[in-house]
C-alpha cells in the first residue's frame, strides 16, 4: 500500500457538498489501505475575502497580523473536512502548519519552508489515521504564523511529500491536469500526459497558476512523484517527469501568460558606466523585483531603459523612477500597467531554430505589436498590450499546432 499526499484546492473544497465529495474519495482510498495525508486550501474565495477584510481594517496591514488572519481560511477547511471524515467513520486528525512543525523563514506573506518535522504525522499514520493539514501556512523560528504566498498549499503538499518520502503527491484541482495553455482562454487546449519538471518550472514562473512555482522547485529538488488531477472526475491527470527524452520532446509544450506585470521606461539618461546600476539599484533598494530589462543602443550620448515589475509595485517603482529622472536629467519617464507577458515554453526549443520567428509571425499576422522580448534556452517571452492577451495566446496556440496530438514542425 502506498503513502500518498493529496492536496485539494479552493474550488475542490468550495462548499459542504464539495467537502463531502472529497471526504468520500479520501475514505475510499483509506479503506483500500493507503496511508493518506490530505492538505487543503481555504474554501474558494475565502482568502480574497480575508484580504479585503484586512484592507478595511488598515490600508497597509501589518504583515504579521495579515498572516494570522489569512491562515484562518485553511484552518476552517481542515476542521470541516475532518468532521465529515469522522462522520464516514474515518479516524482523521486535523493540524495547522504550526502543529506539524512546518518551519519557515520569517518573510510574512511569502515565507519559504526550511524544514518539516514529520514525527507527529508519521505517528498518526502508524495508528491508521488520516492526517489533514492546513496548506499555505507555517511557523517561523519565533513561533509566528507565516503564509507561503498565493497558491502556497501546493507547496505545503509537495514539501510534506518530500519530507515523508511519499509514493506520490497528488494535486487535485478544478482542471484534469496541466494543459498546453489555460483552458479558460483556449477551449481547444490539450491536457498533457506528462511534462518535464524543467518545463513546469518555466510555465509556473511565467504565470501558469495551476502549480505554485515553489511547489515545482521542491518537487525538482527532491524528485517528488507529482501529479495534477481533477477533483471532479477520474482520470490520469498530468505527471511531472524528471527525465527528459530529447527525441520525443515536443517543440513547444505550453503557452503561459502573466497579467501581473507593468512596464516602466526612462528615456534620455546619460550613456555612461554606472547608470544602469543607479537605476536598477534604487528599484531593488525599494524591495521591488525587476523581471525583463531592455537598454536601447545609445545615441547622442544618451540611452533609454525599459523594465517590467509586478503590477502591485508599479506606483512605487514609478515614484522612484520619477525622482531618478530628475536627478539624472532624463528626457522623460513613462509607465504602462496595461501590458501582459506571453511566453512559449518547450525543451524541444533547445535543438530547433526558428521558434522565435514563428512566434513573431503569428503575432504579426494578428496585428499584435511586440513591445519587449526576452529569451532563454527553453522559452521566449514577449510583452504586448493587455487587450491582445486572449488573441495572442490563441494565435500562438494554433500556430504551434498545440491543439492537435501531433506537433507541427516550424
Ligand atoms: P486550486 O484552487 O485548485 O489551487 P488554481 O486556480 O490555483 O486551483 O489552479 C487551477 C487553474 O489554473 C485552472 O482553473 C486554470 O484556469 C488555470 N490554468 C492556467 N494555466 C493552466 C494550464 N496550462 N493548465 C491547466 N490549468 C491552467
Ligand atoms: N488559500 C491560498 C490562496 O488562495 C493558498 C492556496 O489556495 O493554495 O492563495
Ligand atoms: Mg492553486
How far, in Å, is the centroid of ligand 1 from the Cα of 210?
4
Of the three residues 247, 267, 283, the one that is the final residue of a domain is 247
Same domain, 242 and 326: no
| Least confident span in 121-130, 206-215, 217-226, 299-308 | 299-308
Within a domain: residue 29? Answer: yes
pLDDT over 70, % of the chain: 97
Q: Where residue 139 sits, what CATH number does that domain have? A: 3.40.1160.10
pLDDT band at 257 (very low <50, low <70, confident <90, very high): very high
Q: What is the pLDDT of residues 58-104, one digit of tens each?
A: 999 999 999 999 999 999 999 999 999 999 999 999 999 999 999 99
How far, in Å, is the centroid of ligand 1 from the Cα of 377?
25
Kindly report the average pLDDT of the chain as a whole number. Answer: 94
Pairing outcome for strands 332-336 and 261-270: antiparallel
Instruction: Report the C-alpha gap between 14 and 22 in whole angstroms.
Output: 11
Q: Which atom belonging to ligand 1 lies closest to the Cα atom of 231?
A: 3
Same domain, 313 and 232: no
Residue 407 has pLDDT above 60, yes or no: no
Answer for the pair 139, 98: CB distance below 8 angstroms, yes or no: yes
Residue 346 has pLDDT above 90, yes or no: yes
Of the three residues 198, 214, 247, the one that is the final residue of a domain is 247
Residue 406 has pLDDT above 50, yes or no: no
Count of domains forming the chain: 2
Within a domain: residue 45? Answer: yes
Q: Which domain holds residue 241?
A: 3-247
Annotate 94-142 with DSSP letters as a single string: EE-TTTTTEEE-S-TTSPPEEEE--HHHHHHHHTTPEEEEETTEEE-TT
42 lines ligand 2 (CB under 6 A): yes
**pTM metric for this prediction:** 0.93
Of the three residues 187, 216, 247, the one that is the final residue of a domain is 247
User: Residues with Cβ < 8 Å from 76, sequence gap 6 or more?
Assistant: 42, 43, 46
135 lines ligand 1 (CB under 6 A): no
Within a domain: residue 90? Answer: yes
How far, in Å, is the centroid of ligand 1 from the Cα of 38?
19
Closest protein CA for atom 5 of ligand 1: 210
Residue 297 has pLDDT above 90, yes or no: no
258 lines ligand 1 (CB under 6 A): no
Q: Where residue 297 sits, what CATH number does that domain have? A: 3.30.2130.10
Please compute the mean of the pLDDT values over residues 311-321 and round it to a whole number. Answer: 95
344 lines ligand 2 (CB under 6 A): no
Within a domain: residue 404? Answer: no
Amino acid at each position: 500500500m502506498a503513502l500518498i499526499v493529496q492536496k485539494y484546492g479552493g474550488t475542490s473544497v468550495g462548499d459542504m457538498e464539495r467537502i463531502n465529495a472529497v471526504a468520500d474519495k479520501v475514505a475510499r482510498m483509506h479503506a483500500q489501505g493507503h496511508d493518506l495525508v490530505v492538505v487543503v486550501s481555504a474554501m474558494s474565495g475565502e482568502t480574497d475575502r480575508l484580504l479585503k477584510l484586512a484592507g478595511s481594517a488598515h490600508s497597509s496591514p501589518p504583515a504579521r497580523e495579515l498572516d494570522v488572519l489569512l491562515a484562518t481560511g485553511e484552518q476552517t477547511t481542515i476542521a470541516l473536512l475532518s468532521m465529515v471524515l469522522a462522520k464516514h467513520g474515518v479516524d482523521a486528525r486535523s493540524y495547522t502548519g504550526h502543529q506539524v512543525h512546518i518551519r519557515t523563514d520569517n518573510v510574512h506573506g511569502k515565507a519559504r519552508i526550511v524544514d518539516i518535522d514529520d514525527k507527529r504525522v508519521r505517528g498518526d499514520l502508524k495508528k491508521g489515521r488520516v492526517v489533514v493539514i492546513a496548506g499555505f501556512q507555517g511557523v517561523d523560528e519565533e513561533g509566528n504564523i507565516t503564509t507561503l504566498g498565493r497558491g502556497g498549499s501546493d507547496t505545503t503538499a509537495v514539501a510534506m511529500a518530500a519530507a515523508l518520502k511519499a509514493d506520490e503527491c497528488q494535486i487535485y484541482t478544478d482542471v484534469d491536469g496541466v494543459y498546453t495553455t489555460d483552458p479558460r482562454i483556449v477551449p481547444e487546449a490539450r491536457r498533457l500526459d506528462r511534462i518535464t519538471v524543467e518545463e513546469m518550472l518555466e510555465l509556473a514562473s511565467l504565470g501558469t497558476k495551476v502549480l505554485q512555482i515553489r511547489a515545482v522547485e521542491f518537487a525538482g529538488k527532491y524528485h517528488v512523484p507529482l501529479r495534477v488531477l481533477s477533483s471532479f472526475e477520474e482520470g490520469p491527470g498530468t505527471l511531472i517527469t524528471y527525465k527528459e527524452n530529447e527525441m520525443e520532446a515536443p517543440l513547444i509544450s505550453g503557452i503561459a501568460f502573466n497579467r501581473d506585470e507593468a512596464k516602466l521606461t526612462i528615456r534620455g539618461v546619460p550613456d555612461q558606466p554606472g547608470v544602469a546600476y543607479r537605476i536598477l539599484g534604487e528599484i531593488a533598494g525599494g524591495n521591488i523585483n525587476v523581471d525583463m530589462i531592455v537598454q536601447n543602443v545609445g545615441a547622442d550620448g544618451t540611452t533609454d531603459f525599459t523594465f517590467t515589475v509586478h503590477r502591485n509595485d508599479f506606483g512605487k517603482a514609478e515614484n522612484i523612477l520619477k525622482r531618478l529622472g530628475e536627478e539624472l536629467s532624463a528626457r522623460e519617464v513613462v509607465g504602462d500597467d496595461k501590458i501582459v507577458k506571453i511566453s512559449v515554453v518547450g525543451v524541444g526549443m533547445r535543438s530547433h531554430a526558428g521558434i522565435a520567428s514563428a512566434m513573431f509571425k503569428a503575432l504579426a499576422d494578428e496585428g499584435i505589436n511586440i513591445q519587449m522580448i526576452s529569451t532563454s534556452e527553453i522559452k521566449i517571452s514577449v510583452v504586448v498590450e493587455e487587450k491582445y492577451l486572449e488573441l495572442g495566446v490563441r494565435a500562438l496556440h494554433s500556430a504551434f499546432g498545440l491543439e492537435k496530438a501531433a506537433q507541427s514542425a516550424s
